Amino acid sequence: MENINVALLQMTPCQSQIENMAKGEIFCRKAKNAGCDIALFPEMWNCGYQIFPDVQKNMENSVSDGSAFVNKFKELAHELNMAIAVTYMESHDPLPRNTVSVFDRRGVQILKYSKVHTCDFDVERYLTPGDDFSVSELDTEKGKVKIGAMICYDREFPESARILMLKGAEIILVPNACPMEINRLSQLRARAFENMVGIATANYAYGQTDCNGHSSAFDGIAYRENEAGSRDTLIIEAGESEGIYIASFPIDELRSYRYNEVHGNAYRKPKLYSELISEKVSPPFIRPDRR
């Protein structure tokens, strides 16, 4: 199987949803021309990750699956014969959700994920958290690959990527909207390493509030046959500027690696992990805004 190429669409948003839709289309067309199989947007692209304390304003900024914004990228995926992972503030009752939908090259929605770990210590308390982690098989021109998604703050919980790995994910798509620095990049590197999974993250470019670019991808292959020692799993790390940054994942090599290496699932001891699913929160981790 040829490498699967994921376009990390590192952009700054415009003043309106219509402008964001048009800009997103331009970037998707460029990604197709560059030979990409999947185009990945930064977090909540339709509104440029704008969340307000005014619930009504958030509802007005949100869009449904059948909206012109979402349909644009559904139709574009079909036209370009390229999968598109488009992000948006999704209309939902009682509060909107932070959502990514993946449309395959035929324009079929094969995966929809809403952010589970909302930043309830900040403005995301005005959103509804998601309630599941999903994995789907994506049919590309080069063959089928299993993909999952997590969004930004989900990265900080090892359980997010672990569940996706257990469900079969080979590549995890990560829309993002925050400053990417050494520790956050290290989290993504760790998630890729410990789960033997590819991770592709698209962040807003410098110029968007509290963002700095540095979209990245890790292939999860820490050891390579005939190479001494461990290797850096980083495929690409962007700078701060707008652009399309291409992460090329060697799927056949990753699959072979997963059959032979010691990470992942083979040596886990799930019977000893019951504390991980306890809902008890004790000092010093009690927070008044926890939902």
50 token code pair: 């704008």
Residue % of the chain over a pLDDT of 70: 100
**Using 50, 70 and 90 to split pLDDT, how confident is the model at 226?**
confident
Structure confidence at residue 104 (pLDDT): 98
Token pair 């996706």 is at which residue? 164
Res 217 pLDDT > 90: yes
Q: What does pLDDT average to over the chain? A: 97
- Alpha carbon distance 129, 189 (integer Å): 25
Beta strands, E only, the chain: 4-10, 38-40, 83-90, 97-103, 109-114, 135-140, 143-149, 171-175, 198-202, 216-218, 234-237, 243-249
Res 227 pLDDT > 90: no
44 token code pair: 């909540």
pLDDT digits (tens, 9 = 90+) for 24-44: 999 999 999 999 999 999 999
Any idea which fold 4-277 has?
A: Nitrilase/N-carbamoyl-D-aminoacid amidohydrolase (3.60.110)
Q: Tell me the CA distances in angstroms from 230 to 17, 220, 224, 236, one per residue in order.
A: 45, 11, 8, 17
Structure confidence at residue 51 (pLDDT): 97
pLDDT digits (tens, 9 = 90+) for 148-184: 999 999 999 999 999 999 999 999 999 999 999 999 9
Full-model pTM = 0.97
